[in-house]
Structure 1
């Protein structure tokens, strides 16, 4: 197990322990900072980003390693403490510019938008990550390779920078005095996630907020103007595939409709929200309303509990996928990845309260039972003991029965409510 895998292995249970602690503290303070469907969506997007990372490491780390070997100006030793300290500072500086570009260049925003879509602000939001950031994000870190920072140093400082940012995604930690003036803190990052006019496109720092102070993008959180979270074009969906595709799709449509060839290119490179004049005139969009009703489709308590249980089971499968990824055959790896992504998409449709969600979820449960029943194994596990096969089929069958009962119960309650006059 390499250093990166060791860090992730130890960090994951800590993440969920801190989420549990945040839930407890919020309850003791009489606050609600989590909504189950939103949290499932955020964590599901984090799972998908990790699935994508399994396939994208060859591109990102491979390019970095090639540049270090052939283009590095210096041969920086991984044994030097100063190499590690300076690498973390340089990485954080590069991250600032990537993060800033992610808010100022539409094609980069199309990837980064995933992290901002939640209308909640809690520790699950920190794990809400893009699946497409790998396409262009690696470009911003190539200067580190050219300077000569070894690959192993780059990988570890990248993880440190990312892990640090987890704890700043909370509403339960207030101002921290001098710390807020130097480091990215919960207060500073709350302002970054806000859609209020005064906060828009500010506070990009990963570990240090000093970069924002140096380059004029810092703003302090204002208690008289509390942050409102989300995006100015709300996602209004729990579909993780659509969450990753929405801005790409909207931009592609604007590019298609634009009459001038220059506008077809500029729509990708201009800041988010920019549209060619002729497109905006022919296909107007509603103005942003900060007082909009948040997206939260009603879901019965039973279906909420069902969704949480099924997500926990899928999370266990995702952990198994990441463990098997080191030695699983390509065909099986892709198959398992597709199964997990489609499963999370089905669960998203179910939590939206859509009729198609029930059909997709029943289909997912059928596939979950059919795979071990027909093959005698599971992805990456060619032969399962008989009791294990029976257990997998039994869990899928019990889930289907529970889902059917909950669906009938919910439909019955809705029918009764409609029948009541007034």
Structure 2
């Protein structure tokens, strides 16, 4: 975990630089690829995923290290070609992991947050799950374990493989010639993120597009069918923690409401979007039948709310970065408490972005927890040793955040974020 924290301390600033470069390039090209609140939501989602990982909230049912120790038929050395085999093996497993997440009802909850943005840009690449707690796809790594690819090689290649999936989340790069036949390109991945019927559940590969062509899930981007981004059943919130569990909550409700015991059981393993007939008729879902009729979510924030949301993002990012760079010096309890505080913080200010009144109790909890942590720790997790007066600044910030939340909620009326459109139809 220390290696993970160190790797992220380098990777995250690099990602932010690329996001800023994309924005400048888009402006030069007279294109709009970032919408303020959506970008804040995406970056906030990335922080929640980082915090989850730092807290170790992932349960591996069967570890790769155990598998390779038990089933390896060969003992091979860590030469360059072993790293190449590991990369290809991880990519093959990634394709099927991705495919299962898209096609199994319960597993879609692990992935919905990544598709929830109605924009397509580098920041949406950081929308990563906090709900994928259990590592259920260990069986996909059995082929690598059989041939004896060392666990330490997989541990090195896995984050590289993950970071290599960042760059192609952009609308600014067009077709890439012969590379279109080899690797996943921005054009391929625009298709993947689209809700157009022809594009749904296509281009599931992570690095090598060959997997989609081999297994029948490839779709080229068509000029006459521009991609429309998001999810068919809109999430209508900027809060990444809510987005992470919105599909699971819908499944729980359906499983509870249906009268059929068979449907209560099978709903979890049916194709994504499947619902019991009795529940679908009585409790229809609103969804976009025609992608081109989509009305994007907009909480209609005032300038004050937008500005304050950016302030909250910057402060929160600075705090998460503090956890990353100071991780080796923290006790596990400190990491847990700091991370929980940050989760509450993100929940509070993204709820405020929605103009939801739940932001008030969330902010009160955050304020009380922050003050409690200052007294418990005798400061703010050692930050005062790096920045004189840091503890006082944190206290002032917490008070200001509470005051701003109360003020903004009181002055901004809660409006419907998405006007009901005749083309937002109900399933039945």
Gaps of 5+ in 1: 412-422
TM alignment of 1:9-408, pairs within 5 A: 9-56=9-56, 59-60=59-60, 63-78=63-78, 80-143=79-142, 144-289=144-289, 290=291, 291-358=293-360, 360-361=362-363, 364-365=366-367, 367-369=369-371, 371-372=373-374, 376-379=378-381, 387-400=389-402
Alpha-carbon separation, structure 1, partners of 2:259 and 2:117: 34
Q: Cα–Cα, structure 1 residues 42 and 137, in superposed 2: closer, same or farther, change >3 Å? A: farther
Contact 2:357 2:409 in 1 (8 A): no
* Contact in 2 for aligned 1:179/1:185 (Cα 8 Å): yes
Distance 1:73 1:147 in 2: 6
Q: How many pairs does the alignment contain?
A: 410
Stretch deviating more after TM superposition (159-168 or 375-384)? 375-384
State the Cα distance separating 1:378 from its structure 2 match: 2.5
**Deviating more after overlay: 203-212 vs 263-272:** 263-272
Residue pair 1:376, 1:382 contacting (<8 A) in 2 also: no
Asked if the contact 2:5/2:327 (under 8 Å) is kept, the reply is no
Question: Once the 2 structures are TM-superposed, how far is the Cα of residue 284 of structure 1 from its aligned partner?
Answer: 2.2
1:278 is displaced (CA, Å) by 2.3
Alpha carbons of 1:55 and 1:138: their partners in 2 closer, same or farther (altered >3 Å)? Answer: farther
1:343-376 deviation digits (Å, cap 9, x = unpaired): 1000111111234435533653464355426753
Which whole-Å CA distance do the structure 2 matches of 1:57 and 1:91 have between them?
22
Say whether the 8 Å CA contact 2:104–2:272 is kept in structure 1.
yes
User: Alpha-carbon deviations, 1:278-330, whole Å to 9, x = none?
Assistant: 22223222353321311111111122111111111111111222344445334
Give the Cα separation in 1 of the matches to 2:335 and 2:237.
Answer: 28
Report the aligned-residue RMSD.
2.7
Whole-Å Cα distance in 2 between the matches of residues 330 and 5 of structure 1? Answer: 13
**Alpha-carbon spacing, 1:153–1:353, altered in 2? closer, same or farther (3 Å):** same
Using a 3 Å threshold, how does the CA distance of structure 1 residues 278 and 132 change in structure 2: closer, same or farther? same
What's the counterpart of residue 417 of structure 1?
Answer: none
Deviation at residue 178 of structure 1 after TM alignment: 1.3
Give distance in 1, aligned partners of 2:117 and 2:187.
17
Verify the 8 A CA contact 2:355 2:412 in the aligned structure 1.
no
Q: Which whole-Å CA distance do the structure 2 matches of 1:67 and 1:334 have between them?
A: 30
Once residues 260 and 275 of structure 1 are traced to their aligned partners in structure 2, the CA distance between those partners, rounded to angstroms, is 12
**Structure 1 pair 31–293 and aligned structure 2 pair: CA distance change class (3 A):** same
Q: Which whole-Å CA distance do the structure 1 matches of 2:6 and 2:339 have between them?
A: 22
Query: Deviations 1:101-143 (Å, cap 9, x if unpaired)?
Result: 1111112111011110110111111011011224144425431
In 1: Cα distance, 2:190 partner to 2:198 partner: 12
TM-score (ref. length: structure 1): 0.88
Matches of 2:245 and 2:146 in 1, distance apart? 33
What's the offset of the Cα at 1:234?
Answer: 0.9
Higher helix share: 1
In structure 2, distance between residues paired with 1:181 and 1:19: 26
The Cα shift of 1:93 comes to: 0.8
What is the rounded CA distance, in whole Å, between the counterparts of 2:257 and 2:357 in structure 1?
Answer: 33
C-alpha contact (below 8 Å) 2:61/2:136 kept by paired residues: no
Q: 1:203 to 1:338 in 2, by over 3 A?
A: same
The 8 Å contact of residues 48 and 130 in structure 2, kept in 1 or not, is answered as yes
C-alpha displacement of 1:60: 3.4
With over 3 angstroms needed to count, the CA separation of the structure-2 counterparts of 1:145 and 1:299, relative to structure 1, is same
Kindly state the Cα deviation for residue 29 of structure 1 after the two structures are TM-superposed: 1.8
- Structure number with the bigger relative contact order (C-alpha 8 A, sep ≥ 6) is 2
Q: Give the secondary structure class of the aligned counterpart of 2:389.
A: helix
